[in-house]
Amino acid sequence: MTKAVLTWVLGMLDRGHSVAMASVIEASGSVPGKPGARMAVTEKGARFGTVGGAGLEMKVESALRGMLNGGRAEVRQKGGRVETFVLYKDAKEQEATPLDSLCGGRVTVSMEVMEPVPHVLISGGGHVGRSVALVCDTLGWSHSVFDVREDYANEDAYPFASELHPNSVDGFLKEEDSESLARFSDILLLGHDWSVDQDMLLGLLRKSGVEGRPRIGAIGSKVKWKAFRQAAIAQGISEELVDSVRCPIGLEIGAESPEEIAVAVCAEIMALEKV
């Protein structure tokens, strides 16, 4: 069961979900959950595994969901938690949580939240894109690459990319929906051709979910963004959704070279991840 739960957790993290996991670390007496029993839940409500069922499981699941709903900043500040449950309804121990049970045993459970690392889709595999990929590799983030030019989205150019998408904009978007796009934390429009960036932007906004993932950012001037914004609104995309796009991307640190721009862009992503 441990391997199955951990495999499920890794799969959820790869798909961009936050996960809270509980592990039984100590048990005594007549209890359903033995050491090593694990259960995990996501912020979307999915769950897998068990720590013993019945009232214990309900209490633990509620605690896990509370940790996920607390926000990333709060979780980072407090860290995980360890709680001991007494499976006897009349227990009066001050350092343990009594449960409505007659088993009479004790179970200690460790609970923690795991966040997915950023997975950046680099749309445009030119100089800035390659620099962004290098920064992602340094930070331990995942990156994937899309480009309409096959020479800019291949293993030679991006040996550590999770995914490579040498394709047309339409071809790429036909294979995606809001759920699949959520595996990316960020999509960066870094194309060599403004029309490719605009087509990708409009297509992504039409498919965007309501949970704010992926974040979309574009490189370029305010004039370029004004044109993109007008095109999106003209196609019936809501102003609220359009204005969620970051353009120009990157912290304002005076970045000029591709390497400096990559640092500014990834620093902005890091700041957004910490919120």
* Cα-Cα end-to-end distance for the chain: 34
Cis? peptide before 248, omega within 30° of 0: yes
- Is the domain of 141 the same as that of 234? yes
- Is the domain of 258 the same as that of 140? yes
| pLDDT confidence of residue 71 | 62
- Is the domain of 100 the same as that of 139? no
- Is the domain of 247 the same as that of 137? yes
> Which residue is listed with tokens 């923690």?
112
- Is the domain of 109 the same as that of 155? no
pLDDT digits (tens, 9 = 90+) for 60-105: 999 999 998 876 666 666 678 888 887 655 545 544 454 545 556 7
pLDDT digits (tens, 9 = 90+) for 141-156: 999 999 999 999 999 9
Q: Is residue 175 over pLDDT 90?
A: yes
Going across the sheet that includes 19-28, the strands are: 47-49, 38-42, 19-28, 106-114, 81-86, 97-98
pLDDT digits (tens, 9 = 90+) for 192-240: 999 999 999 999 999 875 566 799 999 988 899 999 999 999 999 999 9
Indicate which CATH number applies to the domain containing 241. Answer: 3.40.50.720
Distance between CA atoms of residues 184 and 209, nearest Å:
12
> Which residue is listed with tokens 């997975």?
119
Domain edge (last residue) among 58, 86, 114: 114
Contacts of 86-91 spanning 24+ positions with Cβ under 8 A: 87/29, 87/30, 87/31, 87/55, 87/56
| pLDDT confidence of residue 103 | 58
pLDDT digits (tens, 9 = 90+) for 18-63: 999 999 998 887 777 788 999 999 988 899 999 887 778 888 999 9
Domain that holds residue 234: 119-273
pLDDT digits (tens, 9 = 90+) for 101-123: 555 678 899 999 998 999 999 99
Domain edge (last residue) among 114, 130, 156: 114
- Is the domain of 99 the same as that of 133? no
| pLDDT confidence of residue 210 | 52
Name the DSSP class of 249: -
Q: Are 38 and 24 in contact (CB under 8 A)?
A: yes
| pLDDT confidence of residue 168 | 97
- Is the domain of 140 the same as that of 264? yes
Helix 194-207 × helix 222-234 angle, to 10°: 50
- Is the domain of 7 the same as that of 130? no
Side-chain-side CA neighbours of residue 158 (13 Å): 33
Domain edge (last residue) among 95, 114, 133: 114
| pLDDT confidence of residue 16 | 86
Tokens found for residue 153: 């989205």
